Structure formats: structure tokens, C-alpha cells
Amino acid sequence: MAMAGYVDYQRREYCHAVDCPIQKLLDQCEDGSDQYEEVRALCKTECIHTTYEFHHWLAAQGYEIVRLDS
């Protein structure tokens, strides 16, 4: 849930923005199908981008990482 005045990051928004070839394959699959899950497994183990790149992309897009005060 987004905080007032903010928007939440949408699932795989970064992947679409950087034209990830695996994301393009995922876009051709039906969500939840066996083929989708096989391709999705590649994201988990063979991602060609780093967390560093992702976090810098988030900052460049104006995203902030926040957490709830416990």
C-alpha cells in the first residue's frame, strides 16, 4: 500500500525499463503456467543485472526505500 503522495514500485518495472530479454519471454507466457514458472526460475538464478544497478535505477526514478516503524 502506497503512502500518501507516493506510488509503489510495480512488479518487474525495472525489468521492463531495461528491456530484459528474460522479461520479454515472461511477457509471452501466461501467468502461473508451467512455462511461466520455468522462465521465472531464470530470473531467480541467472539475472544479468545487479542489486547495485537496480537500486541506482530506483533512485534515478525517484523511488525511496522505506519501512514501517515497528
What distances in angstroms separate CA 20 from CA 16, 46, 70, one per listed residue?
Answer: 6, 12, 36
Residue 70 lies in a domain: no
The sign of the torsion formed by the CA atoms of 33, 36, 40, 46 equals positive
What distances in angstroms separate CA 1 from CA 7, 8, 24, 25, 38, one per listed residue?
Answer: 8, 7, 27, 29, 29
User: pTM value?
Assistant: 0.79
For 7-53, the pLDDT digits (tens) are: 889 999 999 999 999 999 999 999 999 999 999 999 889 899 999 99
Count of structural domains within the chain: 1
Question: Domain span at residue 36?
Answer: 13-60
Residue 53 lies in a domain: yes
Residue 68 lies in a domain: no
Residue 69 lies in a domain: no
Residue 22 lies in a domain: yes
> Pick the residue with more confidence: 1 or 4?
4
Which pLDDT value is given to residue 9?
92
Residue 6 lies in a domain: no
